[in-house]
Amino acid sequence: MTQQSVTMADVAKAAGVSRTTVSFVLNGRMEANIPEATRERINQTARMLGYRPNAAARTLASKRSAWFGLVTEIATSPFATDVIKGAQRSAWKDGNFLLIAPSDDDPGMEMLAVEKLLEQQVGGLIIATTWHREIIVPENAKSVPCVLVNCFDAEGEFPSIVPDEVAGGYAAAEILARAGHTNIGHITVAQGIPAQIGRQTGMKQALRDHGLSQEESKIVAGDGTADSGYHGTQELLAQPDPPTAIFCGNDRIAMGAYDAIKELGLRVGEDISIVGFDDQEILAPHMRPKLTTIALPFEEMGMAGVSLLNQMVEGSPIENRQITIGCPPRIRSSVAMHGQR
Amino acid sequence: MTQQSVTMADVAKAAGVSRTTVSFVLNGRMEANIPEATRERINQTARMLGYRPNAAARTLASKRSAWFGLVTEIATSPFATDVIKGAQRSAWKDGNFLLIAPSDDDPGMEMLAVEKLLEQQVGGLIIATTWHREIIVPENAKSVPCVLVNCFDAEGEFPSIVPDEVAGGYAAAEILARAGHTNIGHITVAQGIPAQIGRQTGMKQALRDHGLSQEESKIVAGDGTADSGYHGTQELLAQPDPPTAIFCGNDRIAMGAYDAIKELGLRVGEDISIVGFDDQEILAPHMRPKLTTIALPFEEMGMAGVSLLNQMVEGSPIENRQITIGCPPRIRSSVAMHGQR
DNA sequence: GCGCGTTACTGAATCGTGTTAGCAAATCTG
DNA sequence: CAGATTTGCTAACACGATTCAGTAACGCGC
């Protein structure tokens, strides 16, 4: 109500030209060579009248919308924020919008979300998960360009963007090896997920490359919780030849590890070195000592997702369908030099 | 491209009726009394043909869109997620969408964000901040119903939804008082913000109501960081008559407090009781012992924002323009009984 | 003064839906 | 059985843009 809404026709009348001309000018169509004087006049009157384009009309007429859809499990994790942030920023730069729809990790819900987004005429779709895993992409998602972020489909049919877990695990172990540690423990996240497999694989490779061996007993299975970090650390430190450093599968595990270490009267970053994974913004930099960890590049993944989508929408050929994004180390204070170098 | 897009006209032709009839049936216009048989036939063919309504056309024709705009500082804080989550859920229920635009705490950016959202024909606007404070609402936000979440304008011109800081502070202090503590410390968040003022006010009231007094020295000014919690706690515990319980202005402060307490060889939840504020999902339940704290009702605020917006869009009278939402206590394990009851 | 190319525009169709006004047939009313 | 009402549907315009196909005016060479 009270929608006075100035239209192009109003601007055209006020400027004494046709709708078409106004459209050309406001969209910067230079090939319709409208002289500078007219352009200026039209822009002036548009501004004076407070003209605001109607996106719905534009979408309808041009059959191209300014929206991408993002389907994600906002319900569960704060991680989603960063993906949204990155995607949002990247889309915004090109004048695009993000329509966010919840999937809640329920296939039915997810299909509905996609359906609703398609009704909104989204030009492309991003499906993002909060933890790196394989998913089944809803059938209807195929009616429009679609990119997977932090997940992948079994057939590799969709382009996907995932963190480089292996390189991340490698970096984590290398930090400890470079600091002179030779007896390194590891507490894993939940068994069988890409994060666990990748990080552990990377760690083993790094240790080999640095000429270090690691007994099986130095790898304890956790489940990603702080509790599992606490108990895992107790288990490691109770061994006859306890490790001097622990690579924790994620930051929450590291949090539990801190507690266990302190309870034993030892000092994190002096007696025992710790490296985490994830770089949780409200955790890692606030721990005492501040946690050295490997960051999950959620924001970059979101940005990459949108730019990949842009390419697909424009019909550019996609060279790389499976993109991995590096996990940068965040060096803080939980790792100490050990022994002679 | 390859937009086969089945339209209403296609459905109409296939069903042997006019487009108008299809529109009536699909929109459930009962007053146009179409007999059950015809309705069924149209629904069938629509489903068979895979008809998907075009939201842009609908928005254009009906002059009412199915989406609300949410302007927020996604850039800075994980808190935003919960507001988005609540708003999203609430909107989704009514078939509405949320368009998210970043404000990045920059007035120019914010105006642009609002402008862009208005171009998208949003039916209403939510402006949300990550921390409770006063804001200046951009002028153009007035062209559509607008609700403030977690913030407010100086003139009270806009309906706003904020957490009940005072009641939260009251609850926090009461938990400690009820546990038998009589010597209670407090470490504040940044000076002068509503969170600091409200929580402190609530605390003082609770202590008065429980017949307790509190020396000025037992309130130390922090800045919301874990570091300030660490040093604040050291300061409090170094006093000649140290408190047996500390109400920390937020969970990060509590995190620092834990570290300081443990370093002194004391036990949290046994020797010293702690209550936090915010209930940060990835922090509070994972601390050791698990932190008793007061939750900030972000999700509820988001939901309340959307439903208030719905009322406004429908033209219902708004009875309450300044809504405060309660901050529920989350009782965990960081508070112990003290002394005789 | 004719043909041709450029410049600076305009008219009209189109996008897919909502919505009002109205019409023919069927049914009811008295 | 005439007139009024209801039932079941349709024609046509509107919404606010984009875009294609012109076209009138002008300059220019010959």
Tokens 């309130």 map to which residue? B219
CB A33 within 8 A of CB A65: no
pLDDT tens digits, B103-124: 877 888 889 889 999 999 999 9
A13 touches strand D (CB under 7 A): no
What percent of chain B stands above pLDDT 90? 80
Mark yes or no for CB contact A119/B52 under 8 Å. Answer: yes
Whether residue B162 is predicted with pLDDT greater than 70 in this model: the reply is yes
- The pLDDT score that the predictor gives to residue B101 is 85
Task: Name chain A contacts of B280, Cβ cutoff 8 Å.
Answer: 282
User: Which of A238, A262, A253 minimizes the C-alpha distance to A199?
Assistant: A253
A153 touches chain B (CB under 8 A): no
The answer on pLDDT for B125 being more than 60 is yes
User: What pLDDT, on a 0 to 100 scale, did the predictor assign at position A78?
Assistant: 67
Per-residue pLDDT tens for B306-321? 999 999 988 888 888 8
Average pLDDT, chain B: 93
pLDDT for A4 equals 56
Task: Choose the closest CB to A99 out of B60, B81, B99.
Answer: B99
Higher-pLDDT residue of B280 and A106 is B280
pLDDT in tens, A318-336: 888 899 999 999 999 999 9
Query: What pLDDT score was predicted for residue B339?
Result: 73
Element (H, E) at A47: helix A36-49
Q: pLDDT value at position A341? A: 40
Which residue in chain A is spatially nearest to B57 when comparing CA positions?
A: A60
Mean pLDDT of the region B50-56: 95
Element (H, E) at B149: strand B146-153
Can you list the positions of beta strands (E) in B31-117?
67-72, 97-102
Q: Residues of chain A with pLDDT > 70: what percent?
A: 97
- Indicate if the pLDDT at residue B2 is higher than 60: no
Q: Is the pLDDT score of A59 beyond 70?
A: yes
pLDDT tens for A261-300 read 999 999 999 999 999 999 998 899 999 999 999 999 999 9
Q: Tell me what pLDDT residue B81 has.
A: 80
Using the predicted structure, report yes or no on whether residue B4 has a pLDDT greater than 60.
no
Residues in chain B: 341
CA-CA distance, B107 to A335, in Å (whole number)?
Answer: 42
What is the distance between the alpha carbons of residues A156 and A147, in angstroms, rounded to a whole number? 11
* Residue to substitute from A7, A90, A121, A334, interface B, most B β-carbons within 10 A: A121
Residues 1-40 of chain B within 7 A of strand C, judged by CB, are 5, 7-9, 19-20, 23-24, 26-27
Of A38-52, A67-81, A239-253, minimum mean pLDDT range: A67-81
Instruction: Check residue B99 and give its pLDDT.
Output: 87
Give the pairing type, strands B97-102 and B67-72: parallel
> Which residue of B66, B101, B286 is in closest CB contact with A255?
B286
B145 touches chain A (CB under 8 A): no
Calpha distance A48→A26 (Å, rounded): 14
Residues 133-172 (A) near nucleic chain D, CB < 7 A: none
Q: pLDDT (tens digit, 9 = 90+) per residue, B201-233?
A: 999 999 999 999 999 999 999 999 999 999 999
Radius of gyration of chain B (CA): 26
Rounded CA separation B93/B306 (Å): 11
pLDDT at B191: 97
Q: Is the pLDDT of residue A151 over 90?
A: yes
Task: Find, in chain A, the residue whose alpha carbon is nearest to that of B50.
Answer: A140
Q: Which of residues 44-63 of A touch strand C (CB under 7 A)?
A: 57, 60-61, 63
Per-residue pLDDT for A73 more than 60? Answer: yes
Q: Is residue B89's pLDDT more than 90?
A: no
Question: If we measure between CA atoms, which residue out of B227, B272, B282 comes closest to residue B247?
Answer: B272
Q: Does the CB of A217 fall within 7 Å of any strand D atom?
A: no
pLDDT band at B341 (very low <50, low <70, confident <90, very high): very low
Give the Å distances, CA to CA, from A310 to A65, A72, A94, A316. Answer: 12, 19, 9, 9
pLDDT for position A76: 59
Lowest-pLDDT choice from A111-125, A214-228, A233-247, B237-251:
A111-125
Through-space separation of residue A23 CA and nucleotide C3 C1' in angstroms: 33
* Nucleotide nearest A18, from its CA to each C1': C10
The mean per-residue pLDDT over the stretch B55-76 comes to 88
Give residue A252's pLDDT.
95
pLDDT tier for residue A129 given thresholds of 50, 70 and 90:
very high
CA–C1' distance A22–D17 (Å)? 11
Provide the pLDDT for residue A209.
Answer: 98
Q: Is the pLDDT of residue B3 over 60?
A: no
Q: Assess whether pLDDT exceeds 50 at residue A1.
A: no
pLDDT at residue B77 greater than cutoff 70: no
Q: Quick check: A221 pLDDT over 50?
A: yes
Please report, for residues B56, B297, B335, the alpha-carbon distance to residue B268 in angstroms, rounded to integers and kept in the order given: 58, 26, 8
The more confident residue out of B39 and B1 is B39
